[in-house]
Amino acid sequence: MSVALKHQRILVELEREIRSGRVPRGARLPGEVSLARRFGVSRNTVRAALAELNQAGLIATRTGKGSFVLFDGRPLDSRLGWARALADQGVETRVRVLGITATRDDRLAARLNLDSPEVIAVERVREIVPGAVISYERSCVPAIDELKELPTRGLEGGSLIETLVRAGLHADHGEQRLCGRRIDDREAALLEREPGEWFLRTERTSWTAEGRFAEHVSSLLDPEHFQLHLTFSQSDT
């Protein structure tokens, strides 16, 4: 059997397993050695098959990290929070809270015309289960009422959205901006990546129906998993 036919056989089998859901979104594929042993081929033949799967958008391969099935292309309603939005698409994630601190952000207060620069900052990273870290998020919420106790009390049920709702800050409207940039050394360490890699950066500000400031969150999103999707109609032009 030729090398071309060998790698095509592996490609077809792995693609069938991915598309059927046997290998779920976010799951780590076996390593090259394991796949080579399973199919009775060389690692070079396995690499050729993985390269085509990567090009087809079915997996994302990183040196030293392994290959992961993508869950891109499915609409996520970020207003519900990433955990809820991803869960609605059948993607299991877990969040690690890095810290909750009371701080002062004069620049944010001036930009959003807030009554006070005192905010509570919540830093988190999110990862798919099992798999890679896919986002870093820093949320700033007003240091009012019971929210002042977050640094010592923690989040309600581990959810910031639930915490805000219980504090009477139900997000009703807002705006979101997106750009791309390279991550710095600190961000790379948190995201378990190399400094200088490109990530999507979003900024979302939410307000209640009464016009009260609810949350400002800056996120770094892995572009191999998240994408921006825009729709338009003739009436928009």
Name the CATH superfamily for 78-221. Chorismate lyase-like (3.40.1410.10)
List CB contacts of 108: < 8 A, sequence separation 6 or more.
114, 117, 119, 140, 216
Residue of 200, 205, 204 whose CA lies nearest to 223: 200
Tens of pLDDT along the chain (237 residues) come to 444 577 888 888 888 887 766 776 666 788 888 898 989 888 888 888 888 887 776 776 655 555 554 444 455 555 555 555 666 556 667 888 999 999 999 999 999 999 999 999 999 998 877 667 888 999 999 999 899 999 999 998 888 888 988 899 988 888 888 888 999 999 999 998 899 999 989 898 999 999 999 999 999 988 877 766 555 544 444
β-bridge mates for residue 138, sequence order: 123, 218
Q: Is 229 left (phi over 0), alpha (psi -120 to 50) or beta?
A: beta
CA distances from 124 to 62, 130, 155, 174, 220 (A): 23, 17, 12, 21, 11
Helix, strand, or coil (residue 24): coil
Annotated domain spans of the chain: 3-69, 78-221
pTM above 0.85? no
List CB contacts of 235: < 8 A, sequence separation 6 or more.
none
Q: Give the largest Cα separation in the chain, rounded.
A: 72
Whether 93 contacts 127, CB under 8 Å: yes
Q: Does domain 3-69 have CATH number 1.10.10.10?
A: yes
Q: Which helix (H) or strand (E) holds 85?
A: helix 82-88
